[in-house]
Amino acid sequence: MSTVNSFALWGTLAGIGVAVPIIIHLLHQRHRRRTDWAAMELLRKALVIRSGQVKLEDLLILLLRCLVLALAAFAMLRPFLDSDSSIIPGEKKAGMVVAIDASYSMSHGKHAQRFDRAKEKALQILKNANVGDPTTVVLLGQKPRILLRGVGYEETRFNEVINGASTLPEAMNLDRCLDEVAELVAELKAPLKECYLVTDGQAVDWENLSQDARASLDSVDGEATIFVAPIADEGSENLSVMNFQYASGSLVPSGTIRFEAEVRNHGAQIQDGTTAVLQVDGQDVSRQSVGPIRAGESKVVAFYTSFDGGGDAKVRVELSADSLNQDNARQTVVHVRDRIRVLCAHGEGPSGSKPSEIFYLVRALELKKSQESTSLDVVRADWQDLDTEDFNDYDVILLANVPTIGVDLAQRLDRFVRKGGGLGIYGGDKLDLDSYNAQLYGEEVSLLPGELRGMAEFEGSGLEENQDEASWTIGPIQSDHVLAKLAASIPEEGRNAAKIRKVLQVKPDASADTLLTLSRKGLPLLLEKRVGAGTVLLVTTTADRDWGNLCVHPFFPMMAQQSITHFTSRPGERTYTVGVPGEVSFTGLQADASVTLAEPESDPRGVSLSVRDDGGVFCSVDTEVPGFYEVQPEGQSSSALAVNILPSEADVKVLPSDALGSALGKPEWVVPLDANLEQLIKQSREGLDISRTLLILALVVFLLQGFLARLFTSRMSGDDATDVTESLRKQTLAAARRTT
């Protein structure tokens, strides 16, 4: 026998309850007043005759009253017989935790969604619950969503809650969810506990369980009987958009922009006939046929478009419908700039036939003499004139072979970058490395992506007649940064035509990213560092032909123009995943400003702003569903966020029951699809809860003692007395019984 509630608590209360009537009885006997008077002697003689009988009756009533309290207290312990008993009647009560997989793979299905079948199975499980049994219902996704917690079972209420549930736009996080399920099972107040996991048994979730997930399941197994109930599956064919992003182009009015969507076939059959639609601000602008995609393969679909005006553009790609529509669309936000101002400062002006340090750089930025180039203003300046320039007038500052950096210039550049500006630094012979390290790589100002360690020159570059042979080339592309992808778009033979003889030696710090390296020694060629709201790019070679021919290679103008877009628009920066808080920063706003947030499929509502440690103002956005979120401050232009689902759930292949049992390491937990679930549940329940039986018995004993007390009292009430003496004796005895 075991008990649900604390024996120490209820045992103590039972002892106190039983002791109370006994103590009252003893105190009454001890403190009885004795008054001698003339007729008392005659009465005392009469009382002695019946005193033995009265004591027995009183003790019997006292015993029954103590038994009532003891039975009630024992019932509060919730005693549970570990095996069925034919002698003591009881109930087969159980506390239940029903956990339903609600990740978005559960929306898969042509005729009926997996989640609909899961809800049907959950309702079938709950038919085995008794009214009042403590029951918990929870949905599993990236985190648990508790619908009912330890609530006494009532059929109508539970049916309404489960039928009203829907899938979540989230992937499954088994570690987090199973840990929560273990806590929910542990908190149940029930002699017998059962845990049901209703799932599609998706392979990506269940095939390789982590140690934390297994530990949580073992914890549940120590508390309850586990049932893993997979649902029937109609197949695993599915196409999804795994990735969608800005690829290249000028994010200015009338600029040509390229977007890329990666479409993957997760099924076992070739898929053809699917179309992809590009939408801008809710309007269809391009439609393409995806073409055939073989099983397990991906295809990149490219879209080209342009924008008429400035501001945030909400761009979305969507596939035609299939068995799982939640992963058929992805969205991103790009910011189109009406005008971009670039300050190019050189350390050496033109000399004779030799152009200035920034000649090729400016030509690269102004390469296109078309309408879109009118949005880009390039201002040339000598490095010694930087002190007179107002950096607030510019979006990007490019420094080419600038000799030294003063303290004041370093602080101004730091403020410029932290507010969102872009800073590009090119190497050269005139650079004072000590000055750069002291002013731009210190504790107060740290803009450089790493410490400058000196110059590295290709061996023999100063001796051989053919300088192209004595040069490095661009090394293997290992970064997925937009600038690295731009280099990767050039065939390797074309990349090898870029010859670099000399570079700055840099030791990158932990906060920097190396985007491009040289073909030998792994020397960095292009590094990036984010500082505040801005970005710093360091090109370790020159912007002219002194250290190589990169400036006249086709990659150079592509890199120059793409870096301007990267500095100013930062495409993809405001693209988030469901569940990851979004953030929009503002300039010129106070923390008490009025801000409105528009969420997908919801009415706009007011939100509050927060202040960072550096004084910047931002709005935090909870991203619960995919789609576009738009933040509108009063008196300013709006800013948009794009929120997407995790693509990992798109592979909807499931594990068969035997494979699921092997993955769990406990085949007995898994309920076969053709099994009689109700019968399995009944067979698993052993033991009886006898608390109700004890309460009924306590009620019977209580009624019995009341009946006997009334019977004994009425017999002593004096109704049948024949003389005054006998009547007085019986009334005295009755009064004494009532007081004890």
Across the range 718-729, mean pLDDT stands at 54
Please answer whether residues 235 and 198 qualify as being in contact, where contact means their C-beta atoms are separated by less than 8 angstroms.
no
Identify the domain containing residue 606 by its residue range.
575-644
The CATH code of the domain that includes 114 is 3.40.50.410
Per the model's pLDDT, the better-predicted residue between 43 and 124 turns out to be 124
Report residue 210 as tokens: 């982590």
- Stretch 394-401: mean pLDDT, rounded? 96
**pLDDT above 60: residue 552:** yes
Task: Check whether residue 465 and residue 591 sit in a common domain.
Answer: no
Q: Are residues 376 and 481 in the same domain?
A: yes
Return the minimum-mean-pLDDT range out of 210-224, 366-380, 555-569: 366-380
| 153 and 108 within one domain | yes
Do 293 and 379 have their domain in common? no
Separation between Cα atoms, residue 8 and residue 5, nearest integer Å: 9
Q: Is residue 230 part of a domain?
A: no
pTM: 0.75
Residue 733 has pLDDT above 80, yes or no: no
Q: Which of 413, 401, 417 is nearest to 360 (CA)?
A: 401
More confident residue, 468 or 477: 477
Q: Number of folded domains in the chain?
A: 5
Higher-scoring residue by pLDDT: 266, 92: 266
CATH number at residue 433: 3.40.50.880
Last residue of a domain, one of 587, 617, 644: 644
Quick check: 10 pLDDT over 70? no
Mean pLDDT of 389-402: 95
**Are 376 and 361 contacting, i.e. CB atoms less than 8 angstroms apart?**
no
Indicate if the pLDDT at residue 308 is higher than 90. no
Helix (H) or strand (E) holding 305: strand 298-305
On whether the CB atoms of residues 582 and 629 are closer than 8 A, the answer is: yes
**110 in a structural domain:** yes
- Residue 463's pLDDT band, with cuts at 50, 70 and 90, is very low
The reply to whether 130 falls in a domain is yes
> What pLDDT sits at residue 94?
83
Name which residue leads in pLDDT, 704 or 269. 269
**Cβ within 8 Å of residue 49, ≥6 positions away:** none
705 and 676 inside one domain: no
Q: Which of 28-32, 321-325, 537-541, 550-554 bottoms out in mean pLDDT, i.e. has the lowest?
A: 28-32
pLDDT of residue 22: 63
Mean pLDDT across the stretch 86-91? 54
Q: Running DSSP on this structure, what letter comes out for residue 181? A: H
Q: Are residues 411 and 499 in the same domain?
A: yes
Average pLDDT over residues 330-353: 88
Residue 117 lies in a domain: yes
Q: CA 69, 72, 78 angle in degrees (round to 5)? A: 145
Output 695 or 15, whichever has higher pLDDT.
Answer: 695
CB within 8 Å of 628: residues ≥ 6 apart: 314, 316, 331, 333, 600, 640, 641, 642, 643
Same domain, 635 and 671: no
Residues 437 and 315 in one domain: no
Indicate if 353 and 474 belong to the same structural domain. yes
- What confidence score (pLDDT) does residue 678 get? 85
Q: Could you tell me the pLDDT band of residue 229, with boundaries at 50, 70 and 90?
A: very high
Both 139 and 244 in a single domain? no
Domain-embedded: residue 232: no
- Kindly state whether residues 188 and 303 are assigned to the same domain: no
Residue 135 CA to residue 145 CA, distance in Å, equals 15
DSSP of 502-550: EEEEEEE-TTEEEEEEBSSTT-EEEEEEEETTEEEEEESS-SSSSSBSG
Q: Which of 535, 568, 601 is the last residue of a domain?
A: 568
Does residue 715 belong to any structural domain of this protein?
A: yes
Q: For the residues 622-637, what does the mean pLDDT come to?
A: 91
CB neighbours of residue 182 within 10 Å: 22
36: left (phi over 0), alpha (psi -120 to 50) or beta: beta
Query: How does strand 396-400 pair with strand 340-346?
Result: parallel
Q: What is the mean pLDDT of the chain?
A: 85
The pLDDT tens digits of the residues spanning 47-87 come to 555 555 556 777 777 787 777 777 777 666 666 555 555 55
Would you say residue 203 lies in a domain? no
CB 347 within 8 A of CB 428: yes
Between 54 and 154, residue with greater pLDDT: 154
Residue of 695 and 277 predicted with greater confidence: 277
DSSP string across 387-410? GG--GGG-SEEEEES-----HHHH
User: pLDDT value at position 464?
Assistant: 46
How do residues 367-388 score in pLDDT, each as one tens digit?
Answer: 754 444 468 899 999 999 999 9
Task: Please tell me what DSSP assigns to residue 321.
Answer: P
Domain annotation covers residue 638: yes
65 and 115 part of one domain: no
**DSSP state string for 668-719:** GGBPPTTS-HHHHHHHH---EE-HHHHHHHHHHHHHHHHHHHHHHHHHTS-T
The pLDDT value given to residue 557? 93
Residue 146 is predicted with a pLDDT of 96
Residue with the larger pLDDT of the pair 133 and 683: 133
CATH number, position 590: 2.60.40.10
DSSP 282: T
